[in-house]
Amino acid sequence: MLDDEDSPIHPLFAGAPSSTEFKKLRKRIVRETRDAIEKYGMIERGAKWLVCLSGGKDSYTLLAVLHELKWRGLLPVELLACNLDQGQPGFPATVLPEFLEKMGVPHRIEYQDTYSIVMDKVPAGRTYCALCSRLRRGNLYRIAREEGCSAVVLGHHRDDILETFMMNLFHGGRLATMPPKLVNEEGDLFLYRPLSFVAEADCEKFSRAMNYPIIPCDLCGSQDGLQRQQVKQILDGWEKNAPGRRQVMFRALMNARPSHLCDPGIFDFAGLELKSGDETDFSQNLPDLGPTN
């Protein structure tokens, strides 16, 4: 169904480049998004999703792909786009409403001045991300409940997940990252990341080719020396020296072996037992000494 280039498309894809390169890019992103949705069981037929739109390249990609899947009958859920205007000075408040109206996308624009709270509470020289994220997430959960949504859908991609894993490893002392599917602490909302299999570079190529009106983040995105930026530089270096390294690392996150880690909370090391003498085949443990004369 996705290979039918002559079939109708959602207005979000109207004016898309006709090059073979872009068609391959679009199909790859749509396929990877659909794979993540199916693999992690995100679809509840008849559900309503709150699709968070920041105005960045990732959220535009998310919005377009989800509407493409819905347009083609592959995503049987209701989609409501939502932008949270956090009161940042100079934020172009008319860009997203005008874009969404033009595209015929159901949406809600919410104004909450979290910017002033972040600037007041975070000491000079400290990063804003943690508090900003908590305030934003709380408002999005509230909006989802008010709109009757069962899920809040975010535009985090594969590289975001890898960077978070590395940050937790280096700075948090734990093996953890952003999961593709999560239930909030209150237990009443899902949190989905359908772009979990999609590379950041593909999101950038896609949104640039579609000429979406990108809005940069002037709060946390303007700070130097962020831990995430440092981790990104490390991953960029590895990827340059060994292309495909990011994808190998992501596959590792999907192939965890608790018995080969060190956490007794997820594997019963104390309960390990040897086989009885009658059952043990010691020949399997002998080294290969080569042919004998």
Measure the N-to-C terminal CA separation of the chain; round to a whole number of Å.
65
Q: Of the candidates 202, 192, 162, which has an alpha carbon nearest to the alpha carbon of residue 27?
A: 202
**Annotated binding residues, as ranges?**
129, 132, 220
Edge-first strand listing for the sheet containing 181-183: 107-111, 78-85, 48-52, 151-153, 190-192, 181-183
Which pair of tokens denotes residue 74? 């592959």
**Annotated binding residues for [4Fe-4S] cluster, as ranges?**
129, 132, 220
CA distances from 75 to 61, 122, 162, 192 (A): 16, 41, 27, 14
